[in-house]
Amino acid sequence: MTPGSIDLHLHSTASDGRLDPASLMRHACDCGVAVAALTDHDTTSGLEAAASEAAALGMSFVPGVEISSEWRGRTIHVLGLAIDPAAPGLVAGLEGLRAERGRRAQEIASRLDAAGAPGTEALQRVLTLAELPTRTHFARALAELGAARSLAEAFERYLGRGRPAAVRSRWPAVTEAVGWIRAAGGVPVLAHPLRYMLSGGARRDLCREFREAGGLAMEVVCGGASRAQVAQAESLAARTGLAGSVGSDFHDPRVPWNPPGRLAKLPGAVPAVWSIPAFPISLPDFR
Ligand code: AMP
Ligand code: MN
Ligand code: MN
Ligand code: MN
């Protein structure tokens, strides 16, 4: 019998995923995942439904969130794993983030209009269809409205860094997000650390400041990562004193190359985040 895999980074329709929380858990289970974390952007609204479906399927469930934050002017994602979603500081912090997302969606729409893209129509779709507005929803709307051929093209033409509808978002500092997570009894994990456009030195500074603020781990194995990228992340974690996590960042079953749980093994040089003493849920060793 295969023991099943672990995936600590998954999105549902509570943010920009395609599957509702219960369907996501069923899909993850079908893909062989035995331990799953739901980590939607800036919301915990899917956790209850996901937890009960996971329990019905006999899976282990880790309640999580992926918080948008800022460091040296860049957007950085901080995962909170095994959080208490009712913790007041976290609840208040996430409410502020969602208010900022609402403001930002209006600005994205006007910038799209100014760039000659159907921003107002896209916004209308986003606000009707999305539980929480993200750039992913704008990209889908632009593709549906014929302004881009694909999600990737919508980001390349309009929504990505340096493009006309890339608005300056006012996210909280990384250290603040880490504080909310720790106060909620959770474990802060720096998401996809190699995805940020940073020099090697700046990336190490980010990891060290994250750890000094109370951060405990970083993602060492990400969806679609090459062996070389896993090795690079492993050495970054080892050098900066962070434990390692594994997560696909799954959003959409129509993206066939990144299903839940299809991830390399966490390499040996770093402790697994789920086996450090601060991790409040007891899980089997998945290595
Ligand atoms: P937001 O948090 O609203 O800025 O949206 C960020 C989300 O957009 C990420 O979590 C990804 O899911 C998605 N995203 C970012 N860049 C791209 C891209 N180039 N292609 C497809 N999706 C992207
Ligand atoms: Mn996303
Ligand atoms: Mn992310
Ligand atoms: Mn994510």
Q: pLDDT, tens digit, for every residue of 230-251?
A: 999 999 999 999 999 999 999 9
Q: Measure CA 79 to chain center.
A: 6
Give the sheet arrangement for strand 187-190, strand by strand.
5-10, 33-38, 60-71, 74-81, 187-190, 217-222, 243-247
Question: Considering the entire predicted model, what is its pTM?
Answer: 0.98
45: burial class by Cβ within 10 Å (0-12, 13-18, 19+)? middle
- Tell me what the mean pLDDT of segment 254-259 comes to: 94
The residues with which 41 forms a beta bridge, in sequence order, are 66
**Has residue 1 got a pLDDT over 50?**
no
Rounded to whole angstroms, the Cα distance separating 132 from 40 reads 10
Atom 17, ligand 1: which residue's CA is nearest? Answer: 155
**Has residue 83 got a pLDDT over 50?**
yes
56 Cα: distance to centroid of ligand 3 (angstroms): 28
Rounded to whole angstroms, the Cα distance separating 186 from 184 reads 5
For ligand 1, whether the C-beta of 192 sits within 6 Å is no
Rounded to whole angstroms, the Cα distance separating 126 from 198 reads 31
H helices of the chain, in order, are 21-30, 47-57, 88-114, 119-129, 135-144, 151-154, 174-183, 200-212, 227-240
- Tell me what the mean pLDDT of segment 253-269 comes to: 95
Atom 23, ligand 1: which residue's CA is nearest? Answer: 136
Phi, psi (degrees; rounded to nearest 5) at 161: -50, 130
For ligand 1, whether the C-beta of 134 sits within 6 Å is yes
H helices of 213-283, in order, are 227-240
For ligand 1, whether the C-beta of 16 sits within 6 Å is yes
